[in-house]
Structure 1
Amino acid sequence: MPITMQELADMAGVSRATVDRALNERGRVNQKTKDRICQLAKTMGYEPDLAAKTLASKNKIFRIGCILNSRGNTFFNDVEKGIQSAIDELNGFNIEVTTRSPEHLNASCQLKVIDALYQEGIQALIITPLNVPEIADRLNALIAEGIAVVALTADILGVNYLSYVGCNHLKSGQITANIAGLIAPPGARILFVLGSKSLLGHSQRLEGFLQILNESYPDMQVLDIIENQDDDFISYNLVHNYIADHPAIDLIVFAAGGSTGGIRAIQDSSCHCRIICFDLTSHNRHYLEEGLISCVLCQEPYTQGYQALKLLSGYLLLGKSPDTDRYYTKTEILVKNSL
């Protein structure tokens, strides 16, 4: 995956603005610092889009719509930070980005937001799509009209999008099962909590988890699968009620958002189980430091947001198609001492 300007700045020990000035001749930079940045950029394969500068001088405005299922899911805070960093780098390139979040995690709400952005005249769309036929049909209709689509953090079947940017969810589910085999007792009873099976990534994560469990840990039992809509309030109620009826749980896997509410439900109960979560939100970091969570799997949300917008801007400004239709981010495993 190409190095970003922010990553280049971190390597050089300077601000992103300093890198921008050094590479694009915008303002004064110490010559030694400039030479060091330029050499590092060459070594790491970073090249500014000179052609984009030329196209940006034209008066055309490129409008990108962005639909994130972010209500109640703090994972998307870092996704949006990545998007904003890419927007900052594109300052002056006539790129306008409008970000919206559906009120609820269902197809009708997502369709309303898609149609609203379409009416605003977007040329491209970044979306965390629900994997349902009506969304696929609507996205294909947009693509047929020349609107480029990037699927971000969640994949979708049957759509000829420009690219998918996000985690390899099947693989992350397999990794989670391997961790479960290491930390849970033999014959462990497991509660699996995901956001929605309508999100392909969530169902793939479950698929990968069950695959490895069946192959390598057949004595372990998944008691139930709960869908919490990535919502902490819903998660609290579902987990609280389930524990009340089934207190003998050895491991709870929160495979998506809503873990904060679910963990509070565990704390309010007499359940003493191991916990695996996804994404290093501020709450998950606290629970990991306290030892309440055994481990957290991270999927580079900042990079996902940044890369999605850079792909689309390159396509709009330069007519450059992505090198691949799959940009998988890394899945990092964090334990208490990793912090």
Structure 2
Amino acid sequence: MNDDLNYKIQRLKEQRNALIIAHNYQRDEVQAIADMTGDSLELSRKAAQTNCDVIVFCGVNFMAESASILSPDKIVLLTASDAFCPMADMISAGTHRELYGAFPGYKDPPRYVYPVEYTLRDIKRDYPGVPVVAYVNTTAEVKAESDICCTSANVVEVIESLPDERVICVPDKNLSAWAAKNTKKEVISWDGYCHVHDRVRPLDVETARKSHPNAVFMAHPECRLDILEMADAVASTSGMLRFAARSSAKEFIVGTEIGLLYRLRKENPEKIFYPLRKDMVCPNMKKTTLQSVYIALREMQHVVKVSSEIRELAWNALNRMITL
């Protein structure tokens, strides 16, 4: 069945002059058919440098928006219309409402709903003149309301690049705590979090280390600070891939979404990788299937297009980070 779908996807990809890109947290079989796999912004930047007409983004809504921001002349398809990021939707640019995800067209109410009574514009009003650093895991509207973007890998570098002695960091409180630990500047944090990483507790690390005493523990900076302080390496998903490849260790405990295990094992067949917790699964990332990739390409549906007004402002925030 997969072989047949793979063939159909490849045929459609050629006909549409499409590029299939998949985030590191996608299903194994989806990563296997992708032209590129990686972090969200990494993928959007690489896709922008190609001559494809269509970008098929196997990920969640804010990732497809970033691709649209960086490739306004290309058609960007999201492979699952209801694939959104709960953390990204924990902050609104300026609308007091209940957020049901930034991507329109939900057929059913999504799993996570957050009452938003305090917005990014509100915190900017409360801290006038303080620059806003927006994690790339935010909607285009939030990026447009921010001064500069950051990734989980460069958040400290971005903060240090600003002349101000304090900054607002949104939306991940755990990434903000990690940044605050590694800079002398004051970091004003939003109270958002990734439910996959935030659920990890010290007991999970202790249990994993007892089960795998020779393993090196890698943690994503979206984990809580007490977990990061227990880690042998704190890194983004791409950083984990690089660290595992260069390390002399043969066993690793992986403290991020289990989708990354596919690439870790594929690129390091002589090494062993264990999930920190087997339930570190993002259900929204797993909404994309081979079938949904095929249908998105066949029907050219779930087009993500950021308006020119929002795009220009969001591009400015992204470009300030890229120029670093």
TM-score under structure 1 normalisation? 0.33
For the pair shown, the structure with the greater C-alpha radius of gyration is: 1
RCO comparison, higher one (Cα < 8 Å, 6+) = 2
